[in-house]
């Protein structure tokens, strides 16, 4: 069983990497772009569509505002990207917004940012995978009817890929990402060329339908609220920008400069695709409704509404199905891979939080492939729960989305403003002061833009589901502060005190638990005697009178020089009588120590564990909570364990040189020596 588990792990994850190979996993810009930017670039597949869906509430007449809403979103994106180019140059440790907020606003604000980002990373995976299911479902009916199953399977595959390491996953994602960018930009250019240069009519399949909204004649505040709501939905295009600031350590040197360049490339591509799709949607007359069966007038009874990208591809590449399949396939694939942005951001942030004792320490260490394996697995689990809970519906999930990321934007940019203020107080050189003022102005614009968007999101999306995200952030905040409080209290409790120097136990009372007089008991007894304790005794619990009498007679025949104490148990319990006896043996002296030796079988098959050691497990669990009591397990390997060890031993090149395997000189040095630690113990016992 252990050998099968190891083989399966190696098959899925690959051979482990040495720690000194970490530098070889650093990313060049051409690989870092798809690794860290797949989320913001792929969000153009659903952000324009969400704008149209929100506007459809008031009918197709409001579609004329979609380009202007897109321009507003593009302006915010430019401001955010320019601002984060300042961030990555200054803070290169990988803490990103968490580090900026902690350094400039204090630990509490840092935790607020961390809570927001953790929630947003989970939602990034859920929304991206759900959107992928919707796009692929436009051409594959099975996926459309089994969205949750597809999403869960996709998350599990992504998890396995990321467990193999960041460089390997980046190489796997590079080709699909660039293929998606080429497909979308090619579709936009060809569609606009056909419409404006060749003068052809490029019409979407839904262009002839009428769109009836719930409120056809909105005015005043209601109309403004609708526009703001569409703007907030379109702002989903900005998600993932902060991932690069968290992933700076994964870049090759110079890290800050390479990260800033990658941000610029990402921004140019994302904005071009985002605005191009909105323009193409206007040219082709696409109609996208939140409830197609009710809102689309003139549509066939069996009409299945396709996604915006699928409708545009069918219109632009009419008569060329290869082009349609290309765009839809790589759009669905990039939306699956877009979750990789979160798979790189969440584990790194989790590791930094764990290092600062805000999350369990298991999240801090790297796994076999130098990736933060525990963080990857935790993210996958949270995302699967969300997908199942919301049935893989993009429109339902996106209402929870982007609250966290814009909250981190606002706090981070305000932190950068304070950062420049602090440096300006000490800088006297005019040229450097001008550069700092310019950087501060960029961050101030980013702060203003993201603060406005955050207010809009909170107003328009709070009752639609944003409150769930806020509650999740509060939950993460409370959890992290509780974990930090626990670690601090444990550290204070365990810290060595100068006025309380360490003292040796005044007395060691050894108790060997005996159930039968067999080889495991003899080994435990021999080991206990070898420690030369102050007091040593064997203890057995009288559950059956006949068995106990036979054990006492056999014990006396061997003349062990160690008394055997018999504890009566009228209710046939074992654990409680032993606990009571141990408490009495320890007495009232706090410097006395009682050491309990428990013989235990080592088995080779998982089902054998169910047949053995159950009493020992219960005893250990209770004895661990007794002050002044030490528990020592004395293992005895059964034949199945020895066979399993012989079959499951794995050696690699260099084991002999490192001394892991001792060559058998009597066998020509071709195999391991038969004299191992176990046989050595047998001969000495």
Question: Is 472 in contact with 480 (CB distance < 8 Å)?
Answer: no
Distances (CA, A) of 197 to 189, 323, 474, 531: 11, 20, 54, 93
Domain ranges in the chain with CATH number 3.40.50: 507-648
pLDDT tier, 2 (very low <50, low <70, confident <90, very high otherwise):
very low
Alpha-carbon span 319 to 305, nearest angstrom = 20
For the entire predicted model, the pTM comes to 0.68
Chain position carrying tokens 């590079």: 174
pLDDT (tens digit per residue) in 389-420: 888 777 677 667 778 888 888 998 999 999 99
pLDDT (tens digit per residue) in 581-631: 988 888 767 778 899 999 888 877 777 777 776 778 888 888 888 888 999
Q: What is the DSSP letter of 198?
A: S
Per CATH, is 42-487 categorized as 1.20.1740.10? yes
In the chain, what percentage of residues exceed pLDDT 90? 19
Which of 200-209, 548-557, 587-596 shows the lowest per-residue confidence on average (mean pLDDT)?
A: 587-596
Chain position carrying tokens 């204090």: 106
- Nearest alpha carbon to residue 262 among 88, 408, 77: 88
Alpha-carbon span 228 to 457, nearest angstrom = 8
- Asked if residue 678 has pLDDT above 50, the reply is no
Partners of residue 600 on adjacent β-strands: 635
Token pair belonging to 156: 């599990």
**How many other C-beta atoms can be found within 10 angstroms of the C-beta atom of residue 111?**
23
pLDDT (tens digit per residue) in 562-584: 999 999 888 778 888 899 998 88
pLDDT for the residue 566: 93
Which H or E run contains 296? strand 296-297
Question: Is 240 in contact with 43 (CB distance < 8 Å)?
Answer: yes
Token pair belonging to 371: 């990736």
pLDDT (tens digit per residue) in 636-673: 888 877 666 665 544 444 443 334 444 444 444 443 33
Domain ranges in the chain with CATH number 1.20.1740.10: 42-487
Secondary structure of 574-607 as H, E, C letters: CHHHHHHHHHHHHCCCCCEEEEEEEEEEECCCHH
Question: 640 by DSSP, 3-state: which?
Answer: helix
Token pair belonging to 182: 């080429």
Those residues with Cβ within 8 angstroms of residue 343's Cβ, 6 or more apart along the chain or in another chain: 125, 158, 159, 162, 169, 376, 379
Alpha-carbon span 173 to 342, nearest angstrom = 14
Alpha-carbon span 230 to 223, nearest angstrom = 11
Partners of residue 508 on adjacent β-strands: 593
Phi/psi at 573 (nearest 5 deg)? -85, 160
**How many other C-beta atoms can be found within 10 angstroms of the C-beta atom of residue 89?**
16
pLDDT (tens digit per residue) in 340-368: 777 877 887 888 888 888 988 877 766 54
Over range 201-208, report the average pLDDT.
87
**How many other C-beta atoms can be found within 10 angstroms of the C-beta atom of residue 22?**
13
Over range 92-117, report the average pLDDT.
86
Over range 194-211, report the average pLDDT.
87
Phi/psi at 594 (nearest 5 deg)? -110, 125
Alpha-carbon span 447 to 532, nearest angstrom = 71
Question: Is 415 in contact with 113 (CB distance < 8 Å)?
Answer: no
Partners of residue 509 on adjacent β-strands: 535, 594
Burial 597-627 (b: 16+ CB within 10 A, else e): bbbbbbbbeeeeeeeebebbeebeebbeeee
Which H or E run contains 389? helix 373-389
Question: 167 by DSSP, 3-state: which?
Answer: helix
pLDDT (tens digit per residue) in 489-508: 888 877 755 555 566 777 88
Distances (CA, A) of 22 to 27, 88, 250, 344, 652: 11, 21, 9, 15, 21
- Nearest alpha carbon to residue 437 among 452, 427, 448, 449: 427
CATH architecture of 507-648: 3-Layer(aba) Sandwich (3.40)
């Amino acid at each position: 069983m252990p050998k099968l588990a190891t083989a399966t792990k190696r098959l899925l994850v690959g051979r482990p990497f040495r720690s000194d190979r970490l530098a070889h996993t650093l990313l060049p810009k051409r690989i870092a772009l798809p690794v860290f930017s797949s989320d913001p670039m792929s969000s153009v597949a659903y952000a324009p569509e969400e704008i149209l869906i929100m506007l459809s509430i008031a009918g197709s007449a409001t579609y004329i505002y979609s380009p202007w809403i897109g321009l507003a979103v593009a302006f915010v994106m430019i401001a955010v990207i320019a601002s984060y180019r300042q961030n990555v140059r200054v803070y290169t440790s990988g803490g990103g917004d968490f580090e900026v907020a902690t350094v400039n606003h204090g630990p509490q604000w840092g935790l607020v940012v961390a809570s927001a980002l953790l929630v947003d990373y989970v939602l990034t995976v859920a929304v991206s995978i759900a959107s992928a299911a919707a796009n692929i479902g436009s051409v594959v009916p099975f996926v459309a009817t089994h969205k949750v199953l597809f999403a869960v399977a996709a998350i599990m595959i992504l998890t396995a890929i990321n467990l193999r390491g960041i460089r390997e996953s980046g190489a796997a994602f590079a080709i699909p990402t660039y293929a998606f960018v080429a497909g979308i930009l090619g579709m936009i250019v060809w569609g606009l060329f056909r419409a404006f240069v060749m003068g052809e009519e490029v019409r979407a399949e839904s262009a002839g339908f009428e769109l009836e909204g719930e409120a056809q004649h909105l005015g005043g505040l209601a109309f403004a609220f609708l526009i703001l709501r569409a703007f907030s939905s379109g702002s989903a295009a900005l998600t993932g920008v902060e991932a690069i600031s968290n992933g700076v350590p994964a870049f090759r040197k110079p890290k800050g400069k390479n990260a800033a360049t990658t941000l610029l490339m990402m921004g140019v591509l994302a904005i071009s695709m985002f605005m191009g799709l909105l323009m193409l949607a206007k040219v082709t007359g696409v109609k996208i409704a939140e409830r197609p069966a009710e809102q689309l007038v003139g549509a066939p009874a069996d009409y299945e509404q396709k996604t915006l990208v699928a409708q545009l591809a069918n219109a632009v590449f009419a008569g060329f199905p290869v082009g349609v399949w290309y765009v839809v396939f790589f759009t669905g694939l990039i939306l699956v891979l877009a979750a990789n942005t979160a798979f790189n951001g969440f584990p790194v942030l989790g590791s930094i939080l764990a290092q600062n004792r805000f999350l369990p320490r298991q999240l801090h260490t790297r796994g076999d492939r130098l990736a933060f394996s525990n963080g990857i697995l935790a993210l996958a689990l949270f995302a699967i729960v969300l997908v199942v809970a919301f049935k893989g519906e993009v429109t339902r999930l996106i209402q929870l989305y982007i609250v966290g990321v814009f909250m981190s934007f606002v706090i981070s940019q305000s932190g950068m403003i304070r950062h420049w203020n602090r440096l300006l107080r000490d800088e006297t050189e005019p040229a450097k002061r001008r550069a700092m003022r310019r950087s501060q102005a960029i961050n101030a614009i980013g702060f203003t833009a993201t603060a406005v968007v955050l207010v809009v999101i909170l107003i328009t999306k709070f009752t639609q589901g944003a409150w769930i995200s806020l509650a999740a952030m509060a939950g993460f905040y409370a959890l992290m502060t509780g974990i930090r409080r626990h670690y601090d209290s444990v550290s204070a409790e365990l810290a060595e005190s100068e006025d309380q120097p360490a003292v040796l136990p005044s007395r060691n009372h050894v108790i060997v638990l005996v159930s039968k007089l067999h080889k495991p008991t003899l080994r435990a007894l021999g080991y206990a005697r070898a420690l030369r304790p102050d007091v040593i005794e064997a203890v057995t619990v009288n559950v059956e009178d006949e068995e106990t009498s036979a054990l006492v007679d056999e014990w006396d025949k061997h003349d062990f020089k160690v008394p055997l104490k018999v504890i009566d148990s009228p209710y046939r319990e074992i654990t409680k009588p032993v606990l009571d006896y141990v408490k009495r043996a320890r007495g009232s002296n706090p410097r006395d120590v009682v050491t309990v030796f428990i013989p235990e079988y080592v088995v080779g098959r998982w089902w054998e564990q169910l047949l053995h050691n159950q009493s020992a497990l219960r005893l250990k669990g209770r004895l661990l909570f007794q002050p002044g009591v030490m528990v020592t397990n004395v293992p005895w390997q059964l034949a199945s364990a020895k066979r399993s060890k012989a079959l499951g031993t794995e050696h690699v090149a260099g084991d002999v040189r490192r001394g892991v395997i001792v060559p058998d000189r009597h066998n020509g040095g071709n195999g391991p020596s038969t004299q191992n630690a176990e046989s050595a113990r047998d001969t000495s016992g």
